[in-house]
């Protein structure tokens, strides 16, 4: 369940994160989602993705790469519609995050209500 975003822009404040048991976590109200993913789909479909985890790396003069683990109540998606689409991963409460293009999509296990994607 991993989305790879080849990112062309990254602006965020590292001060918003706290390292806890090997993970970076944000300060946010408990009822608010920590992270959100917006995808510019040509057909206007809201995929309803919830970001459960992500990892990423960046280097000077190299593309950024972020891998996202997602869940959605939609059990079936048109992967062709998602590939090469602009996406925005928000992970800072003030709206900061990264912009990128989706270059890989895979579907994982489906439960009673949610399907895993990456």
Q: What pLDDT is attached to residue 44?
A: 65
pLDDT tens digits for range 30-84: 545 578 888 887 666 677 888 888 888 888 888 888 888 889 888 888 888 888 8
Q: What pLDDT is attached to residue 43?
A: 67
Nearest Cα residue to 51 out of 32, 31, 66, 72: 72
> How is residue 37 written in tokens?
């993913």
**DSSP assignment, residue 10?**
E
pLDDT tens digits for range 12-30: 333 444 444 455 555 444 5
Structural domain that includes position 41: 3-117
Structural domain count, the chain = 1
User: Is residue 35 within 8 Å of residue 90, measured between CB atoms?
Assistant: yes
């Amino acid at each position: 369940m991993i989305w790879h975003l080849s990112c062309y822009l990254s602006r965020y404040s590292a001060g918003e994160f706290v390292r806890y048991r090997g993970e970076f976590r944000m300060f946010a109200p408990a009822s608010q989602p920590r992270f959100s993913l917006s995808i510019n789909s040509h057909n206007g479909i809201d995929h309803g993705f919830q970001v459960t985890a992500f990892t990423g790396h960046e280097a000077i003069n190299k593309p950024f790469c972020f891998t996202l683990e997602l869940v959605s109540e939609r059990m079936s998606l048109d992967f062709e519609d998602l590939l090469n689409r602009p996406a925005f991963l928000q992970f800072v409460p003030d709206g900061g995050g990264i912009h990128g293009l989706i270059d890989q999509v895979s579907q994982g296990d489906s439960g009673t209500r949610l399907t895993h994607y990456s």
